[in-house]
Structure 1
Amino acid sequence: MDPLSVEGAWVHAPRVHTDARGAFHEAFRTVGLPHPFDLAQINCSVSRRGVVRGVHFADVPPGQAKYVMCVAGRVVDVVVDLRVGSPGFGRWEAVTLDASEPRAVLIAEGLGHAFMAVSERATVVYLCSRPYDPEREHGVHPLDPGLGIGWPADVEPLLSEKDATAPTLAEAVAAGLLPDYQVCRSFYSTPH
């Protein structure tokens, strides 16, 4: 796994084996991951072109680490450092996930996650370290100019009502919604 510029996020490009029958790759393995990951839930979303999901994050502890793959179509996957006090606070990085070139992104607890479908239809599967808990999940507006995420300019964004009414980064800071960097680091080093 290769680290991204956002601390606590990595990209995995598996070795793909091909022959006359097609292709095979190992999509996920807990052994050797650079961050602890106990699988608790698997989500699958199907989105049409332009759909933006996120920027989502969960309270830490316990948070929710994610391992994200695009299994059909193509998305621009974004990781955002939302940990207050982090040296990289507010930094984001985008990774194109395309089913024709398998890759995955591993995201630690406390980081924000979002993606935009850029193919006509895209299916994203994400493995989660904790079950979904609506009381602990929050969001930051994915089009917030304060974040400045570089979404593809040639794709019209389509947001859910929840994401369209999410607070800006500044509003989330003022409301005390965001994870604390030191709390996250302590959580990462504690067996769970």
Structure 2
Amino acid sequence: MTARETLPGLWELPLEATSSDATALIPPDLGATVGHPLDVGHIHHVQGMLGVVHGLRFSPLPRPADWAYLTCSRGEVLVLVVDVRVGSPSFGRHHEVRLAARASEPPDTTATGTATAPPATATAPPTTATAPPAAGLYVGAGLAHGFTALVDDSVLTHLGPRGRRPEKDRLVHAFDPSLKLPWPIDTGAGNDRSVLTLPPEGADAPLLTALKKASRLPTWADWRTHPTERG
């Protein structure tokens, strides 16, 4: 397997890296790469529609933060991951990656979470992600992630450890101007959308600076001592 670490604790798996075991949700040797076992005890699916942005979601440290593995089980999505660990050398930086379902995979009929939302203006330029889509993304503790569908009715699948409770996660506003995130204005659907939408909880999410001021962000020191990280 050839995985690459793009931010501390964020590992991207190219499609060719998992071609030898196309039936595995998580490549069996990924645990050795990231430094801890990846025993999946939680799976949920989020349905994404064109023009809707989900996130940015993160778990507080030191608890109950834990890892997540993201893969696209239908269609294609753009995932943006932001380092929100105070004191991190890459604090506020982001990484973008496209995740695409393999052509051989059947559509996932168990997806939940279709969002309808009031409009929220996105001022970022169209995405510049031109690299081939990846098969999966390991998101370590202390990183925030969000996504939007690049193909209508796409499904993003989240895998995590036993006891994972995404409803306990915190949110950073996905359109925080300080982050300059490249959400796509042109969705590729043949019509140029100048406005993207957020689910209600995302539209009410605080900005990064407000969370930092309130000491509601994870810290680099906590991440380094978290049991799922190599430190």
Secondary structure of the 1:45 match is strand
1:124 aligns with 2:156: yes
1:175 aligns with 2:176: no
Q: Is contact 1:57–1:64 with CA below 8 Å preserved after alignment?
A: no
Post-superposition shift, 1:78?
A: 1.2
TM, length-normalised to structure 2: 0.73
Structure 2 Cα separation of the partners of residues 80 and 98 of structure 1: 20
Structure 2 Cα separation of the partners of residues 152 and 67 of structure 1: 23
Structure 2 Cα separation of the partners of residues 91 and 30 of structure 1: 29
Amino acid at match of 1:26: A
1:49 aligns with 2:43: no
For structure 1, the residue ranges without an aligned partner over 5 or more in a row are: 18-22
Write out per-residue CA displacement over residues 88-114 of structure 1, whole angstroms, 9 at most, x where no aligned residue. 000100000111466100010111011
Aligned to 1:107: 139
Secondary structure of the 1:103 match is strand
For structure 2, the residue ranges without an aligned partner over 5 or more in a row are: 103-132, 188-194
Structure 2 Cα separation of the partners of residues 163 and 54 of structure 1: 6
1:151 aligns with 2:153: no
Amino acid at match of 1:63: A
TM, length-normalised to structure 1: 0.86
Structure 1 Cα separation of the partners of residues 147 and 177 of structure 2: 17
Write out per-residue CA displacement over residues 153-188 of structure 1, whole angstroms, 9 at most, x where no aligned residue. 213422111111101111111111100111111014
1:16 aligns with 2:19: yes
Whose helix proportion is higher, 1 or 2?
A: 2
Amino acid at match of 2:220: Y
- Structure 1 residues 70 and 25, CA gap change in structure 2 (3 angstroms): same
- Structure 1 residues 161 and 108, CA gap change in structure 2 (3 angstroms): same
Q: Which has the higher contact order (CA 8 A, sep 6+)?
A: 2
- Structure 1 residues 102 and 165, CA gap change in structure 2 (3 angstroms): same
Secondary structure of the 1:16 match is helix
Structure 2 Cα separation of the partners of residues 190 and 91 of structure 1: 19
RMSD over equivalenced CA pairs, Å: 2.2
Structure 2 Cα separation of the partners of residues 110 and 128 of structure 1: 14
Structure 1 Cα separation of the partners of residues 47 and 226 of structure 2: 32
Aligned to 1:20: none
Amino acid at match of 1:128: G
Whose strand proportion is higher, 1 or 2?
A: 1
Structure 2 Cα separation of the partners of residues 113 and 72 of structure 1: 19
- Aligned positions, number: 185
Structure 1 Cα separation of the partners of residues 134 and 147 of structure 2: 16
Post-superposition shift, 1:137?
A: 1.5
Moved more, 30-39 or 108-117: 30-39
Structure 1 Cα separation of the partners of residues 25 and 40 of structure 2: 14
Structure 1 Cα separation of the partners of residues 30 and 75 of structure 2: 28
Q: Which runs of 4+ in 1 moved over 6 A?
A: none
